[in-house]
Amino acid sequence: MKGNIIGFDPETNTGAISGHDGNRYDFVTLDWRGSVRPHAGDLVDFQAIDRRATDIYLVEPAYVAPGYGAFYFSPSGRISRSQYWLRFVLPYCAIFIPLQLIVAFLDKESTAYTATNGLMSLLYLVVFWPSLAILIKRMHDRNKSGWYVLFLVVSAMAFTTLLVIWIGAAFYQYGEHEKISFDGTLGVLGIATIITGAITLGINIWFFVEFGFLRGTIGANRFGPDPTR
């Protein structure tokens, strides 16, 4: 029979299971066959004898929502779509959108403009690792390796590098000849930049759709329990 752990007291080594037949079954540590201590919510399979559970095996561990430290800084485990949007995306937008609006209305020669831009740059650095750690947990929820994040990071870095080189080459050519010609090296750089930009955009759209809107694996996967249960 299957059921869920109601609770377990490590001091008395006793616990209880809510069987899927609607009855309660008590057990002791000697009846537990799992490699880790039972936790409330764990899905188990057991033998029922006179309202007592024996030969209890763990089927699926209960999901434990990560605390603030683990949520923002650890890439381990899984998070759901609602956790991703409510605990990261919305707070991120609530901070950066007002700052962007403030910068848009400030005088570019003012001290406030410089200070706000500096604050935004600092905040971008601060949230860089948490944004990756949170995205990796969302990827885990889709049963994909966190190393997939390299597609996003490498493509963005390649596009940014090519764009900077292309702009620098264009300015250099204008300084030398007072005109810009897209023949030769500058043209090749331009084409490479456009292609890399298109690839980067495609990867961003893929990540946005799959890890922002698609439900994770139903049930436990190799990265942990289902966060929606």
Instruction: Count other Cβ atoms within 10 Å, centred on residue 87.
Output: 17
Say which CATH class 2-60 falls into. mainly beta
When pLDDT is cut at 50, 70 and 90, the band that residue 35 belongs to is confident
pLDDT of 134 reads: 97
The domain segmentation of the chain, as residue ranges, is 2-60, 65-141, 145-215
Helix, strand, or coil (residue 51): coil
pLDDT at 185 over 80: no
The β-bridge relationship of strands 24-28 and 2-9 is: unpaired
Burial of 15 (0-12, 13-18, 19+ CB in 10 A): buried
Condensed to tens digits (0 to 9), the pLDDT of residues 63-99 reads: 988 999 999 999 999 999 999 999 999 999 999 999 9
pLDDT of 170 reads: 82
CA distances from 48 to 17, 101, 183 (A): 10, 63, 80
Beta carbons of 107 and 113 less than 8 angstroms apart: yes
Condensed to tens digits (0 to 9), the pLDDT of residues 43-56 reads: 999 999 999 999 99
Crossing angle of helices 111-141 and 90-105, rounded to 10°: 160
Quote the CA–CA distance of 96 and 99 in Å, as a whole number.
5
Quote the CA–CA distance of 153 and 157 in Å, as a whole number.
6
- pLDDT > 70: percent of the chain: 95
Tokens of 199: 């690839």
Helix, strand, or coil (residue 58): strand
Helix, strand, or coil (residue 228): coil
Which pTM was predicted?
0.80
Q: What type of residue is 47?
A: Q
Least confident of 78-82, 107-111, 172-176, 198-202: 172-176
CA distances from 167 to 91, 154, 188, 189 (A): 34, 20, 13, 10
Quote the CA–CA distance of 133 and 67 in Å, as a whole number.
14
